[in-house]
Amino acid sequence: MIEQYIPRLIKDLDLGNISLASGTPGIFTLPIREGVGVNISDIPNGFVLKSTIIPFPKTQEEFFASRAMLANLFGQGTHGAVLGLSPDTNMLTLTQTVDYPFDYKEFKEILEDFINTVDFWYDEALSIKQK
C-alpha cells in the first residue's frame, strides 16, 4: 500500500526527483535533516514509521529520560508515537505503528505529525546537550 503513496508524497512534499527507496522492498527512507531520516515500512494492513533521532544526552540524563517517559504517557508528547532507545542505548528513537486500514490523507497527516515530533525531540535533546 505504501508503495502506491510514495510518488504522491514526493510530489506533495515538493521533493523533486529524490528517491525514497532504501534498497529493501517495502521500506522507504525520507530524509528530514542531515543525518536524520524516517524509515517508512509497509506491513499488512498498515505501516511503521521509525527514526533514529540523535544521541541520547549524557548530561542531565535523568531529567531528559523523565521528560521522554512523560511524553510517552498516553502519547501526549509524541502524537501517538513512542520514544525509545537504540539497542545499544546510545541513540534516541521514535517509532509509530499504524496497524489498521488508512487512506493517503491519513498517511500523510500521521507522517507529518511524526516528522514534527522528530524535529521537536531533536531540538530538545540538542538543547540539553548544550547546557
Give the domain ranges of the chain.
Answer: 2-124
Question: Pairing between strand 46-55 and 36-43?
Answer: antiparallel
Average pLDDT over residues 38-61: 94
CATH 3.30.1460.10 given to domain 2-124: yes
H or E segment and range at residue 45: none
Sign of CA dihedral 45, 116, 32, 93: negative
When mean pLDDT is compared over 20-24, 50-54, 59-63, 74-78, the highest value belongs to 50-54
Q: Tell me, what's the pLDDT at 129?
A: 73
Give the separation between CA 22 and CA 82, rounded to whole angstroms.
23
